[in-house]
Amino acid sequence: MAELRPSGAPGPTAPPAPGPTAPPAFASLFPPGLHAIYGECRRLYPDQPNPLQVTAIVKYWLGGPDPLDYVSMYRNVGSPSANIPEHWHYVSFGLSDLYGDNRVHEFTGTDGPSGFGFELTFRLKRETGESAPPTWPAELMQGLARYVFQSENTFCSGDHVSWHSPLDNSESRIQHMLLTEDPQMQPVQTPFGVVTFLQIVGVCTEELHSAQQWNGQGILELLRTVPVAGGPWLITDMRRGETIFEIDPHLQERVDKGIETDGSNLSGVSAKCAWDDLSRPPEDDEDSRSICVGTQPRRLSGKDTEQIRETLRRGLEINSKPVLPPINPQRQNGLAHDRAPSRKDSLESDSSTAIIPHELIRTRQLESVHLKFNQESGALIPLCLRGRLLHGRHFTYKSITGDMAITFVSTGVEGAFATEEHPYAAHGPWLQILLTEEFVEKMLEDLEDLTSPEEFKLPKEYSWPEKKLKVSILPDVVFDSPLH
């Protein structure tokens, strides 16, 4: 739960925000990380020293459900001459280290990131006659923060978030999000590390799909050119009823050309998926393919988890080389920013199988495999094939319902354990599938109806007997069972 109050109103756990001339004794009581972020807010809004603030009643570090201690809300006058409308500007406090005493984030030094290294912002167009900012964006930011804390997956500029619901729970077409650098807020050096500011940008479903098929940065640039769809500062208008492609049909041509030239920067997704080794009986407990042995799931080793996450991270980098990163025994848990060893990777398990030495888990070559996806994940297969593999890259599905992963690789990817001689290979519950360009073209022809999934009924099955490969698109309920 949260309460709304001016940030200058005393609360049970945080004193009022000090101004630039706050008495030293008072400033010393104010959490240093919080003080540093407030300083950047004061730089932008010197006339709003005490903005309205949504405050978590029970702080996360006291057992509360909300990771963000505060969300401040400022009134920004914009710049009409530059097509920047008046709007509300929301800033989060809590993804970075506010306190420096290990109550939430382990302090690792001043040179790296503070906490997760970023805070979220959001710019919402102010409606005519609106005298106070809506508070629903604060809950939206809390939802994203919960995802970061629970999964330990951080956000980067250009990332997308599939939300599948109007951001304000209305009937709006704005149902998903992209993330970009906040156009006004500068990175802050705090006593506990550096904090950057990532802005949430609301987008329509069609715009999200284009970001997936091409890249988030490209779509953000297009949004900046359309004043009613965001403009230079990418301000979200929940009343926007048209996509950028309906407003300016020529923009679709730019996206299509970008896909053809650049491919997709989306290197993987968390998904409802599974795989079976059809070349051996599933009851073969010693060497089973499956994500399950009996009712206990096979676990990805910590090193496999690290490699998969590093693969996803590197795949989002512009001009990244098509290389699966080597497993490095020197590194500990976590991928980016050298996070504290106490943090737990999202796919790791406390099960003893998770700490089996990596070299003792042998790679197995499989003769025949069956891939299973829900409808949303299956709809991304053409993107995986056309936008990634045909450009010499790789694409990973990481299960959200079981401890397993499926990575598609092209013949140009180095470091894969799947080869042209043995195109299906598994390392524990991590499956790699190597597809030649010829086979990718064949699959794209056969999977054409996946681009319009509303036109077919589930379950749907595709099979290539000569390649000993089968793909099934199944209802969500199949993946919600204990075996998945």
Q: How confident is the model at residue 479 (pLDDT cuts 50, 70, 90)?
A: confident
Q: Which residues of the chain does CATH 3.30.1360.230 include? A: 268-278+363-478
From CA 282, how far away is CA 293, in angstroms rounded?
A: 8
Which phi and psi angles does 116 have, rounded to 5°?
-80, -5
Compute the average pLDDT of residues 149-163: 92
From CA 72, how far away is CA 178, in angstroms rounded?
A: 21
List the alpha helices (DSSP H) in 1-135: 24-29, 32-44
Give the pLDDT confidence score for residue 351 in this predicted structure: 28
Of 370 and 24, more confident: 370
Place of tokens 């080793």: 301
Phi-psi region of 34 (alpha: psi -120 to 50; beta: other; left: phi over 0): alpha
Q: How confident is the model at residue 305 (pLDDT cuts 50, 70, 90)?
A: low
Give the pLDDT confidence score for residue 299 in this predicted structure: 56
Topology (CATH) of 268-278+363-478? Gyrase A; domain 2 (3.30.1360)
Of 189 and 279, more confident: 189
Compute the average pLDDT of residues 254-272: 92
Query: With 0-12 CB in 10 A as exposed, 13-18 as middle and 19+ as buried, what is 119?
Result: buried
CB 178 within 8 A of CB 120: no
Which phi and psi angles does 172 have, rounded to 5°?
-65, 155
- Tens-digit pLDDT profile for residues 89-146: 999 999 999 999 999 999 989 999 999 999 999 999 999 999 999 999 999 999 999 9
Give the pLDDT confidence score for residue 251 in this predicted structure: 97
Using the predicted structure, report yes or no on whether residue 194 has a pLDDT greater than 50: yes
Q: Which two tokens stand for residue 109?
A: 């030094």
- Tens-digit pLDDT profile for residues 283-301: 544 443 333 322 334 456 6
Give the pLDDT confidence score for residue 301 in this predicted structure: 62
CB 393 within 8 A of CB 418: no
From CA 434, how far away is CA 409, in angstroms rounded?
A: 5
Using the predicted structure, report yes or no on whether residue 11 has a pLDDT greater than 60: no
From CA 125, how far away is CA 231, in angstroms rounded?
A: 11
Which phi and psi angles does 136 have, rounded to 5°?
-60, -30
Give the pLDDT confidence score for residue 27 in this predicted structure: 44
Using the predicted structure, report yes or no on whether residue 344 has a pLDDT greater than 50: no
Q: How far is residue 470 from each of residues 42, 277, 381, 464, measured CA to CA in Å? A: 58, 11, 13, 6
Give the pLDDT confidence score for residue 437 in this predicted structure: 96
Give the pLDDT confidence score for residue 258 in this predicted structure: 94
Query: Per DSSP, what are the bridge partners of residue 89?
Result: 74, 123
Give the pLDDT confidence score for residue 280 in this predicted structure: 72
3-state SS track over 222-278: HHHCCHHHCCCCCCECCCCCCCHHHHCCHHHHHHHHHHHHHCCCCCEEEECEEEEEC
Other Cβ atoms less than 10 A from the Cβ of 216: the count is 25
14-18, 187-191, 192-196, 383-387 — which is least confidently predicted?
Answer: 14-18
From CA 237, how far away is CA 385, in angstroms rounded?
A: 34
- The 3-state DSSP class for residue 182 equals coil
Q: How confident is the model at residue 414 (pLDDT cuts 50, 70, 90)?
A: confident
User: Measured on CA atoms in the order 382, 388, 392, 398, is the torsion positive or negative?
Assistant: negative
Q: How confident is the model at residue 208 (pLDDT cuts 50, 70, 90)?
A: very high
From CA 140, how far away is CA 120, in angstroms rounded?
A: 10
Compute the average pLDDT of residues 172-177: 98
From CA 475, how far away is CA 401, in angstroms rounded?
A: 14
**HSE value, Cβ hemisphere, 13 Å, CA-based, for 445:** 7
Place of tokens 């956000």: 155
Give the pLDDT confidence score for residue 347 in this predicted structure: 26
Give the pLDDT confidence score for residue 10 in this predicted structure: 40
Least Cα distance to 202 among 87, 59, 318 occurs for 87
Least Cα distance to 211 among 378, 399, 383, 395 occurs for 383
Question: pTM, whole model, 2 decimals?
Answer: 0.76
Q: How confident is the model at residue 152 (pLDDT cuts 50, 70, 90)?
A: confident
Q: How confident is the model at residue 401 (pLDDT cuts 50, 70, 90)?
A: confident
User: Measured on CA atoms in the order 137, 142, 143, 145, is the torsion positive or negative?
Assistant: positive
Give the pLDDT confidence score for residue 153 in this predicted structure: 86
CB 137 within 8 A of CB 52: no
| Count of H-run helices and E-run strands, the chain | 12, 21
85-89, 198-202, 409-413 — which is least confidently predicted?
Answer: 409-413
Least Cα distance to 304 among 211, 168, 415 occurs for 415
CB 297 within 8 A of CB 429: yes
